[in-house]
Amino acid sequence: MANFLIEMSHTPQQCMQDLDQMVEHSPELLKNTSWGCMAGNHTGWAMVEAGNESDARNMVPPAIRDQVKITEVQKFTADQIRAMHQMAA
């Protein structure tokens, strides 16, 4: 399994409709999503584990799947970063 950041942006006009879609179609994803809507940034961010990008995208309500940005993400240790510096030198 890999880790993915799902970024779901919408306009202020789409806000309630997109949130309703999350409630109806993706209640588990909704539990793991942080939203910036109340601060004026109409974006939601969720960290999920999935087999691949397509599996992560399928966690999103069908009506907004084409609008989301999905990025595979990793964590690095200090040792890994030092090794990257050595390889780049």
pLDDT digits (tens, 9 = 90+) for 7-56: 999 999 999 999 999 999 999 999 999 999 999 999 999 999 999 999 99
pLDDT 10s digits, 49-60: 999 999 999 999
Q: Specify the CATH number for the domain of residue 33.
A: 3.30.70.1060
Q: What is the pLDDT of residue 89?
A: 82
Structural domain boundaries, residue 49? 2-88
Tracing tokens 């179609």 back to the chain, one arrives at 25
Per-position b or e across 25-39, b if 16+ CB within 10 A of its CB = ebeebbeebebeeee
Cα 40 from Cα 24, distance rounded (Å): 23
pLDDT 10s digits, 66-79: 999 999 999 999 99
Number of domains in the chain: 1
The rounded mean pLDDT for the chain is 97
